[in-house]
Structure 1
Amino acid sequence: MTEAARQAAADLAELRAGSGEAAHGQPVVDRLVALLDLERIEENIFRGVSPPQSPVRVFGGQVAGQALVAAGRTAPAERKVHSLHAYFIRPGDPSVPIVYEVDRIRDGRSFTTRRVTAVQRGNAIFALSASFHHVEPGIEHADRMPDVPDPETLPTRAEIIAEHADKLGVFATMPRPIDIRYVTDPPWVSRERGGTEARSQVWMRADGILPADDLLHVCVLTYASDMTLLDSVLVRHGAYWGFDNVVGASLDHALWFHRPFRADEWFLYDCASPSASGARGLATGRFFTRDGTLIATVVQEGLLRILD
C-alpha cells in the first residue's frame, strides 16, 4: 500500500468511528483516488489493494478501474483510452494485494493496445484489454439524453436506504465515494410491486473534487459503471440482493468512451436489460453529462440465479 493509501485509510477510519452510516464526501473520494494510485513494482507490473471495509469479494468496478490505471500508465500520455473489454475470471480476495501484469500488445501510429491480467495467489482473477487513440477530428453524432429530473431534486441514497438498512447489510454502511441519486425506483422499492420495466436510471458523480487527471476520471467512471448496471435486470423480476435469495456476479464488461468528461460532475447512468436467459442477464448503459452529452456506453453480462 502506498503512503497516500495508508493516510487515506486512516482518515476514513477516523471519519467512520462511532457512525452507523456510510462514510461519504471528500475523505472517501480521496481514499478512492489513493486506491487507484497503484504501486509500480516493475516496468509493466503494478500492485493494488482493496479498501479496509470490503464485502467478501473484491468489487468488480475496483479491479476494472485499477487494471485500467495499469494499462494507462504504460500508454503514451497523449493517447486517450477509447474502449476496454474485460472478463471477471475468479472472485478476488479483498484481504490480499492484487498484482496487475501489463502486456504491451502494440504501439501503432494511431492506436495503442494493452492487455492486463490481475493476479492473486498465482491465479488470474480478471483480464482486461484496452485501446488508446490519439485525438483526431471526424464525423459526429450521438443519442439524446432522456428527460429526467435534476439530481438536486432527488433524495440521497442514504435517505432512500434508511428504512431498509437491515436488509442491505454491509452495502448500507460501506463507504460511498460515488454520490448516487435514483431517478427510477431502486430495486428494493420496485420489488414490492413484483417487478417493473427492465430499466434503471441514476445520477452519479464522485462525492468530492478529483485531481485534473484525464485517466483518473475515466477510471472513476469505470469504477462506478459496475455499481447499478445489473439492477436493470433484477428490477424486471422483482428481486434484489439481500431481500431475495439472489446469487450473482459480473461475468464480462465492456466500455466505450466517446467524449471528455469530469467524473466529479453529475452524469446520468441510463441502464436497460434487453434479455435474460440461462441464468445470465445482459445489461446496457449510457452515460450522459448534465448538458446532455453522451460520454460513454457500457455493456455487461452477469450471472444471476434467483433461488427458491
Structure 2
Amino acid sequence: MSKRVTLFEPPQLDSSKAPIENVLELTSVDDIGPDVFTNTRPLWHPPGARGIYGGAAIAQCLAAAMRTVPADFAVHSMHCYFVLAGDSEIPIVYHVERVRDGRSYITRTVQARQRGRPIFTTTLSFNKANSGGKKKLQHAATMPPVPLPTPPGSGSRRFDENRGGPFESARAGIVNRGATPEEKKVRRWVRCRGRISEAGAQHAHLSALAYITDSFFIGTVARVHDIPRFTSAAELKMALKALKNPSDLDDEDISRSLNELKEEESADLQRRLEGALSKLQDAKSKSEHKEIGMMVSLDHSIYFHNPWKFRADEWMLTEMESPWAGEGRGLVLQKIWAKDGTLIATCTQEVCFLLRPERMGGLPFPLPVDPNEWIGSSPCG
C-alpha cells in the first residue's frame, strides 16, 4: 500500500489565490478535535535537507492558531522550536491549544505532529488592534536606501517573475563585505508571486511572511564567513537527486534556485580559490580550509511589528546579520521592511553549525549520529 502524503486527497489548485495560499492551505480534522488541522497539500523537501522546509511548519502553525482567535486580534510574536525532522511523505497534524483569552492579549500553543510525535512546537501571542492607548512611545529602525529590483526585460538578470515557486527574491548586496563576520549584513528583496486574494485577507499575508522568513536565514552564518553552501557542481546534483516531494517547485524551478545559489557563491569561491591555490598544497592551508559539515535550525522567533500595514505580495527588504557564533552554534538576526519603509518584523534564529573536519565523499552534508537531530534547512540557504 502506497504512502499518503496528506490525510485527505488534495483538491485542485485554486487559480483565484496566489501560489503561496495554495501551498499553505489547511484542512480541519474534526474527527480528532475542533482545533486540529492538517496540511492540505504535500510539503516541500529542500535539496540536501533531512526534513521539510521549516518555513512551511512555521507558517502553517501560525495559520492554524489564527483560526482560533477573533479577527480584531493580530499576532505580535511567535517563538518556535524545531524538534525532529519533518517527513515530507507523512501528513502533519497541527494541534492548537487555547492557553489564554484576555481582553487585550491571547495566547496559543501549536504542536505539529507526525505519527503522534511532536516535530515542531510554537507559542504565539496575539494583541487586539488599537489597544495601545492614545499616547504611545514609538521608534523603528530605518530602512536602508536600497534600490528596488530591476523589472524583467530591462537587461538585468537579478530576478525572473516568470519562474515558478510560491515566492521570488532578488539579491540586494552584502554590506561591509571585507569586514569581520559580525559586521557584515546580507540584504535581499523578497515577495510572494501573484496576488494574494481578498478572501485570504491579512491572515494570508501574515502566513506568507512567516513562510518567507525562514528562507536564506540559516545560511547567514556561512555567508558572513565566506563558506559556500555547496563546493562543487557534483554536490548540487546530489542534493537535487535526494529531493523528495517538490510540491512547491518543479525540477526546473529547483535547478534555477540551485544555479542562483551557485552564481551567488561563485565569485567569492573563485576569489578564495585563486588566492589560496598555491597554499592548498601544504598541510597548513588544508587545516584552514573550511567546509560545512552540518547546518540545521534550532529555533526561530518572529516579532510582528506592523501586522496590518504590509502586503506579502509586494517587495519587502530583508537584512540579515550574525552578531555571534561559537560552541557549534550561530545566532542570526533579520529585519524586514515593506517597500514604503515600514518595519514589518524582526526575526531571530539560532543555528547548529558544524564544520567538516576533513573532506568526505557522498552526501553534501554528513549525517549526524542521530538522524532525528537533523531538523532541516532553508531552500536556498
TM over 0.5: yes
For each residue in 1:230-285, what CA deviation from the matched residue of structure 2 results, as whole angstroms up to 9, or x when unmatched?
Answer: 23211122213222444111111111111121100001001110001111110001
Identify the residue that residue 101 of structure 1 maps to in structure 2.
95
Measure the CA separation in 2 of the matches of 1:223 and 1:230: 13
Aligned to 1:270: 319
Instruction: Give the conservation status (yes or no) of the 8 Å contact 2:19–2:165.
Output: no
1:61–1:41 CA distance, 2 compared to 1 (3 A): same
Unaligned residue ranges in structure 2 (runs of 5+): 1-5, 232-290, 358-381
- Distance in 2 between residues matched to 1:297 and 1:185, nearest whole Å: 19
State the partner residue of 1:253.
300
- Looking at structure 2, the residues matched to 250 and 145 of structure 1 have their Cα atoms a distance apart, in angstroms, of 27
1:143 alignment partner, SS class:
coil
1:162 aligns to what?
none
RMSD across aligned positions (CA): 2.9
Give the AA of the match of 1:155. Answer: R
Using the alignment, how far apart are the partners of 1:201 and 1:74 within structure 2?
Answer: 35
In our comparison, the structure showing a higher alpha carbon Rg is 2
Amino acid corresponding to residue 95 of structure 1 in structure 2? E
Q: Which position in structure 1 is the counterpart of 2:190? A: 204
Cα distance in 2 for residues equivalent to 1:253 and 1:53? 19
Following the alignment from structure 2 to structure 1, what is the Cα–Cα distance between the partners of residues 181 and 325?
14
Cα distance in 1 for partners of 2:43, 2:98 equals 32
Contact 1:119 1:125 in 2 (8 A): yes
- Map 1:133-148; keep pairs closer than 5 Å: 133-136=127-130, 137=132, 138-148=136-146
Q: Give the alignment's TM-score, normalised by structure 2.
A: 0.65
CA distances 1:82-140 after superposition (whole Å, capped 9, x unpaired)? 11000000010011110000110000011110000000011100001111111114332
Cα distance in structure 2, aligned partners of 1:141 and 1:4: 48
The aligned amino acid for 2:166 is: P
With structure 1 as the length reference, what TM-score do the two structures score? Answer: 0.80
Q: Is the 8 A contact 2:72 2:128 kept in 1?
A: yes
Q: Is the 8 A contact 2:10 2:41 kept in 1?
A: no
Residues 53 and 175, structure 1, Cα contact 8 Å, conserved in 2: no
> What is residue 22 of structure 1 aligned with on the other side?
none
1:74 Cα deviation (Å)?
Answer: 0.7
Contact 2:149/2:158, CA 8 A, preserved across alignment: no
Secondary structure of 2:194 counterpart: coil
1:123 is aligned, of 80, 97, 117, to 117
- Report the CA distance shift for 1:196/1:77 in structure 2 as closer, same or farther (over 3 A): closer
Match of 1:76 among 50, 70, 79: 70
Letter in 2 for 1:46: F
Structure 1: distance between partners of 2:222 and 2:206: 27
Match of 2:38 in 1: 47
Matches within 5 A, 1:60-71: 60-71=54-65
Structure 1: stretches of 5+ with no match in the other structure: 12-25, 160-173
Q: Could you say which structure has the higher strand fraction? A: 1
Pairs aligned (count): 273
State yes or no: 1:113 paired with 2:107.
yes
Matched, 1:294 2:350: no
The residue number in structure 2 matching 1:17 is none
Secondary structure of the equivalent of 1:156? coil
The CA distance in 2 between the partners of 1:102 and 1:39, in whole Å, is 13
Partner residue in 2 for 1:182? 171
Instruction: Check conservation: 1:104, 1:115, Cα contact below 8 A.
Output: yes
State the partner residue of 2:211.
223
The answer (yes or no) to whether the contact 2:8–2:40 under 8 Å persists in 1 is: no
